[in-house]
Copies of this chain bind each other. A is one copy, B any other.
Amino acid sequence: MALSKKPVTGMKDILPDEMKIRDYVISVINDTYRSYGFTKIETPVVEHIENLTNKQGGDNEKLIFRILKRGEKLDLASAKEEADLTDSGLRYDLTVPLVRYYSAHANDLPVPFKALQMGNVFRADRPQRGRYRQFMQCDIDILGESTNLAEIELILATTTTIGKLGFKGFEIRINDRRLLKAMAAFAGFGEEDYDSVFITLDKMDKIGLDGVRAELSENGYESGVIDRYLSLFEGNTSCPGGDGADGAGEASDKSAVSGTSAVEKILALSSALGESLDPSVKENLTGIIEAVEAAKDADFRMVFDPTLVRGMSYYTGTIFEISLPEFGGSCGGGGRYDEMVGKFTGNSVPACGFSIGFERIILLLTESGFKLPGESDKCAFLIEKGMPKERLSAVLSEARQLRETGTQVLTVYMNKNKKFQKEQLAKEGYVDIKEYYVNPLN
């Protein structure tokens, strides 16, 4: 069979210029999270198929690259379905492997455990621009911390990292799955309808309040319930039909929540919900927002967004997303998932995580013509062919000494078209070019 030059469908080769930016971003992430006490760990990219298909991963479970059984375990003749052929697959996120890792090694890990992971994940999605089937994820998680100190630290560490990469004026949008449920209960939806209602609510930023109303109505819910539900969002959405998430003094009179700050909005919504909402949910959200605003150093603000849903079914409490103004949509997010460790060990362990959209950040930096700070000096030694051994050794020794001073030195033979070669080298950033001839008087 002929060999293929392109990468497999939907995956990409990383060229040198992009790789430099990736390595720089990785180093900023490493250094910043380490300063917050996060510890780097790694898990295999291959995971047990039963761990990947336990209904925690939402739609991602449909996108798994499955690995064929090997040797005697593969019995093609008797195989009736896919499941008979595979025992493992490529991970679709870093959370499932982290929870498995924690379940296996908790005795050897500090309490709480603050983990940093950077690694490739795989989803057999339909290929499209800027979206690949292998992509890097960068996750931080805190396991064993039940208070919102976990959320506060995750948000502070992540926003500091994003700030160090040069991003400004961004937002952290925050909500709580328990608040989502309380709002649906208050309006009169049945618990069995929550998932469907939240799928519609999640479209608020695209179709607006009227679009959400229409879709809920199409789905057969009572108009009284819908009205009661949507009145909770009026003055509290940043979309057509709403009044802007920052509630800049234009809140409608009808709105149940018309505070101007994120904390005031939460308090107003909480009082509208009355006994439908456990008061600890309000305290959780306001506590996070106040602590982060007081201790932050990056240029961003906390925004309360009651329409924030987050797809993964494993979230149990706080959820959050990061929105960069340069990027029309989420550029990372996370939340609390207190029950996932229990699925492995039988004992629940509080857990909260934040995943940065690494590939989107790289895309933004690449497209904005990002310049790497402080690139080291680059020098090229052009050596004429036929250089006697002793002279060649002397040139290589000179290169070695220069490298020890931190200079990047490329040693390369002179081409026939030396002018073109020097132009190419200049393009690659080799401004300092030295020439070495067989006859030094040349």
> For chain A residues 274-305, which have a beta carbon within 8 Å of chain B?
287, 290-291, 294-295, 297
A68 touching B68, Cβ below 8 Å: yes
Total copies of the chain: 2
> Contacts A5-B103, A82-B74 given: A294-B393 contact, CB under 8 Å?
yes
> Contacts A5-B103, A145-B413 given: A393-B67 contact, CB under 8 Å?
no
Q: What residues of B have a CB within 8 angstroms of the CB of A345 in the complex?
A: 5
Q: What residues of B have a CB within 8 angstroms of the CB of A393 in the complex?
A: 290-291, 294-295
**Interface-facing stretch out of A32-40, A200-208, A223-231, A329-337:** A32-40
B344 touching A134, Cβ below 8 Å: no
B291 touching A392, Cβ below 8 Å: yes
Whole-angstrom distance between the Cβ of A21 and the nearest chain B Cβ:
11
CA distance A345 to B41 in the complex (A): 40
A16 touching B109, Cβ below 8 Å: yes
CA distance A240 to B407 in the complex (A): 46
Residue A219 lies at the interface, judged by CB distance under 8 Å to chain B: no
Q: What residues of B have a CB within 8 angstroms of the CB of A36 in the complex?
A: 403, 408-410
A8 touching B46, Cβ below 8 Å: yes
B50 touching A411, Cβ below 8 Å: no
**Interface-facing stretch out of A148-156, A177-185, A189-197:** A148-156
Residue A239 lies at the interface, judged by CB distance under 8 Å to chain B: no
A44 touching B13, Cβ below 8 Å: yes
A44 touching B81, Cβ below 8 Å: no
Q: What residues of B have a CB within 8 angstroms of the CB of A65 in the complex?
A: 46, 67-68, 70
Residue A238 lies at the interface, judged by CB distance under 8 Å to chain B: no
CA distance A408 to B36 in the complex (A): 6
Q: Mark A80-108, 1 if CB is under 8 A from B, else 0.
A: 11100111101000000000110111001
